Structure 1
């Protein structure tokens, strides 16, 4: 898809440097990764961005950076550095926001990686060049970009519902959708030129988001993969886990009171604290 641009090289270097620091320091990694409770309760919104520059391993980092280099060149050259950066960071934050919404009740959920941003870059490329060939690493197989896009969205939706892997498919889907939408906004001639591709990719994603917003139980699915993924828990174990998660939330609220005072609490935090005090 063209040579890697200057901005992409800067992004790759930033990912490598920050990820390496995370590899070496658990405290640094924990401070800046994506953690639901830290974002929703402590309002550490920087994690929505910083988590996208951390990775769990060198393989994770290398795979993501190779993907970025493969797809970023054409976008940066065609749209310019500023609009390319807008797509990158909008996709990064958009992917994390979808993850945050889906896992809003899973306080201990955490994740890292630039996959949301890179998915956005890939889908912006598909919106611009729907007939481009998308290949697979080490395989001489290429499929049309529009077909890859539709398949990717459908697979992400299936994976989110089935909970088959410990992979952040929510961030992938959210980043891809935002990347495509932002590309259309920044380059308004796209809908007229590639409307079939854009609609075919957006429709299933929009429908899925509509379903999880209006019917949250849509995410609850009982299938073989879900049962295999979930460990068995008896009533006592489940109760103790719920109490442990609740205690973590209360501890963070108390820490917030200690640092910023009672007035800093949100209505939701006050309600949780009051409910917990009644149980004790």
Structure 2
């Protein structure tokens, strides 16, 4: 069984358990005040295995599984037998790193909470975009497939704008910083990915036959 599938199963089971156990949800959700004032740093990880509802859970896990299987295969090539372990650590690191800006911003607000795997999922998606910028993405609200790098630029731009507005109820900072972490990690772990990405983009002719 792949590490990707194990993470999906764990996330689904923990999310459902937390919906049925309010105490578990309260203990594991990302509460910056509890992390900063009480040293409950484990919340930076556990919150990534919690979701608000079935729609939130399905969207994150479907996206993660779609890209995670491919990226886990890349990690196996890069790191050999440790590829699965490195992939899990990378995913969890994406969750943690993506939550740090939220921790710093809301550390004095005891009522602020955040949850979801979006930071880790964004890290996985954007690591794959760096490796394969022309991977085809089919979005519900766009009837035709679009190249991954175009989706990436739009996603980062929107996340930056929305995070500055701060009124949507969605932690866009986690999306933004998770995505940046994923690309940075891949650029360091596989340095050839960055010039290859630039070369592919420079050769792109959107309307050529």
Report the TM range for the smaller structure's normalisation.
0.7 to 0.9
**Is the Cα–Cα contact under 8 Å of residues 28 and 47 in structure 2 kept in the other structure?**
yes
Output the CA distance in 1 between the equivalents of 2:183 and 2:200. Answer: 10
Matches within 5 A, 1:120-269: 120-137=123-140, 140-195=143-198
Relative contact order, CA 8 A, sep 6+: which one is greater?
2
Task: Provide the residue aligned with 1:215 in structure 2.
Answer: none
> Which residue pairs with 1:101 in the alignment?
104
Match in the other structure for 2:70: 74
In terms of mean alpha carbon deviation, does 20-29 or 72-81 score higher?
Answer: 72-81
- Deviation by residue 1:20-59 (Cα, 9 ceiling, x = unmatched): 1100011100000000110000010000000000011111
Unaligned runs of 5+ in 2: 77-83, 202-209
Q: CA RMSD in A?
A: 1.8
In the superposition, the TM-score normalised over structure 2's length comes to 0.87
Question: Which of residues 25, 35, 38 in structure 1 aligns to 2:21?
Answer: 25
Q: Contact 1:87/1:183 (CA < 8 Å) preserved in 2?
A: no
Tell me which moved more, 74-83 or 98-107.
98-107
Post-superposition, which runs of at least 4 consecutive aligned residues in structure 1 deviate over 4 A? none
Q: Distance in 1 between matches of 2:163 and 2:23?
A: 29
Once the two structures are TM-superposed, the CA of residue 119 in structure 1 deviates from its matched residue by 0.5
SS at match of 2:137: strand
Partner of 1:50: 46
Paired residues, number: 194
Q: 1:131 to 1:139 in 2, by over 3 A?
A: same
Which residue, out of 60, 64, 71, partners 1:64? 60
Q: 2:35 touches 2:107 (CA, 8 Å); kept in 1?
A: no
Unaligned runs of 5+ in 1: 199-280
SS of residue matched to 2:145: strand
Q: Could you tell me whether the CA contact under 8 Å between 2:33 and 2:106 is conserved in 1?
A: no
Closer/same/farther in 2, CA of residues 52 and 197 from structure 1, 3 Å limit: farther
Partner of 1:242: none
Aligned position for 1:264? none
Distance 2:20 2:88 in 1: 28
Deviations 1:202-254 (A, max 9, x none): xxxxxxxxxxxxxxxxxxxxxxxxxxxxxxxxxxxxxxxxxxxxxxxxxxxxx
Query: TM-score, normalised to structure 1's length?
Result: 0.66
Deviations along 1:162-184, one digit per CA (max 9) or x if unpaired, are 12411110111111111111111
